[in-house]
Amino acid sequence: MIEIERKFLVKDDSFKTAAFAKNHIAQGYLSSVPERTVRVRIKGDKGFLTIKGASNEAGLSRFEWEKEIPVAEAKALLLLCEKGVIDKTRFEIKQGDHVFEVDEFYGENEGLIVAEIELNSETETFEKPNWVGNEVTGNNRYYNSYLSTHPYKNW
């Protein structure tokens, strides 16, 4: 139940041609405090409730618990969320033994494209595709919970 991930900015949209999956995501936060975020998400035709703990000092690891819930319940919970529902498309791209999840944001966060890769350990190596730019792991400005209350367009 520990999530280990690294996060990067994306240089261009060339990743789209390599994607094996693409889903629209709407997500909101019932709680966006860094010590425990509670997220409601609709991804494609599925709903999810996720609780995440605070990140470690390096920003690489944190507790994560997620359960699938009916979409109707997720839609109802989104109405209870804090201001700033995130709207994005997630592209999944296989690179070597890993999968990069690339989020292209819309609405208040239009223009932002971020790639994440989940790892088995904080020191695990991986292949970086040529469209991967600067690393932003641990920079809380790129957390979706932050983006929901501090949109990219206002930076």
Could you give the residue numbers annotated as active site? 29
Pick from 98, 94, 107, 92: nearest CA to 27: 107
Strands (E), 2-60: 2-10, 21-31, 36-43, 46-53
